[in-house]
Amino acid sequence: MTVVALDFETANQSPVSACAIGLAFVEGGAVTRRFHTLIRPPELRFDWGNIRVHGIRPEDVLDAPSFADVWREIAPVFDGALVLAHNASFDMTVLKRTAAHHGLALPEFRSFCTVAMARRLWPEEPSKKLSALATRFGITFRHHDAGEDAFACATIALEGVRHAGARDIVDLADTSGLAKPVSASTPPRAGGIAARAMAARGEAATGRLNFRVAGSRGTPYEIEVVRGGRGDMRLACTCPASRFRSDCKHRAALRLGDLSAVMGLTPDIERALTTLFAAPVRGAA
C-alpha cells in the first residue's frame, strides 16, 4: 500500500485556490522521495494573509501548471493509498473541491490525520501544530513550503509509529481507528476544522486584492486594497512613507489610475484594479 503525506497551500480562503502541493512518500519506515510543484489556481486572487503565510504571489504561478495538469501526473499515487495530512480535513477539502471544480474523478483511498494522531499519542503537548511537533522531534524543515510540510507530516507519523509500538504507519492507522475513507462522493463536513482553517488562511474574498508595486529604486512593496461595507475603499501600503503619513505616492498613483508601478501586472489584476478604483478610495486607516 502506498503511504504518502499531502500538503496544500492556498491563494485565498477558497478551497479551490490551491497554489502549491507537496507529497512525501514513506517506504520501509523512512521518507524516500518527495514531490512539490506550484499550481496556477483558477483565478489569480491572492489574499494578503495567505501571502504572509507562504510567500507565494500571483506572479510566481503565472507559468505553473493547473491542478488538472498536476493531477494527471499524480492521480495513480492515490488509488488505494493511505494519505497522511496534518489537519487532514483541510487538505481533503482542498483536494475534493478542486478536483470537482476541474471535473476530475478521485480514486478511493483513506486519510490519516496526524493532528488527531498527536492528540491521541501526546495529549500532554500544549500545541499540536506542525511546527511545534517538529520542534519536539528535532525535525528541520521550511514551514509553509508544501513539500517541506508534507515531509514534516510524514516524519511526525513515523514518530507516532515508534511511540505506539506499531509495525508501520498503516498498522497505526488501523489500530487507532483514525483512518477515514475518502472518495469524490464524501462531502466535506460543513463548519468543521477545514472551514476554520480556510478562514484563518485568508480574508473575505469580496473587495480585497493584494499585489506589489515597485518603489523608486525598484524595492517591492505590498499593496492591499479593501472594499468597505458602504462601498468605500481602503488602501494600505508597506512602504516606509506609509508609516509616517496617511498617504504615499504609490497609493496616490493608483487612485489616479496609474498602474505603471504594479509588478507582475496580469490581465486579471488589471481588470480587478480597474473595477475596484471605480469606487471612492481613501488612505489607510
pTM of the model: 0.68
| All structural domains of the chain with their residue ranges | 3-201, 208-282
Q: Which residues pair with 21 in a beta bridge?
A: 8, 37
* 263: helix, strand or coil: strand
C-alpha distances in Å from residue 240, one per residue of 25, 222, 255:
45, 11, 19
pLDDT value of residue 277: 63
Q: Are 223 and 251 in contact (CB under 8 A)?
A: yes
pLDDT value of residue 230: 56
Q: How far apart (Å, rounded) are the C-alpha atoms in residues 48 and 55?
A: 10
> Could you tell me the three cell numbers for 132?
511545534
Half-sphere exposure of 225 (CA within 13 A, CB side): 28
> Could you tell me the three cell numbers for 184?
469524490
Mean pLDDT by runs of 10 across the 285 residues of the chain is: 97 93 97 98 90 92 97 96 96 94 94 97 95 96 96 98 98 96 60 46 52 80 72 77 80 81 74 63 40
**213 — phi, psi (to 5°)?**
-125, 155
**CA 69 to chain centroid:** 18
**CA 111 to chain centroid:** 18
55-58, long-range: CB < 8 A, 24+ apart: 55/144, 56/9, 56/11, 56/19, 56/20, 57/211, 57/212, 57/264, 58/11, 58/211, 58/264, 58/266, 58/268, 58/269
- Topology (CATH) of 3-201: Nucleotidyltransferase; domain 5 (3.30.420)
pLDDT value of residue 217: 76
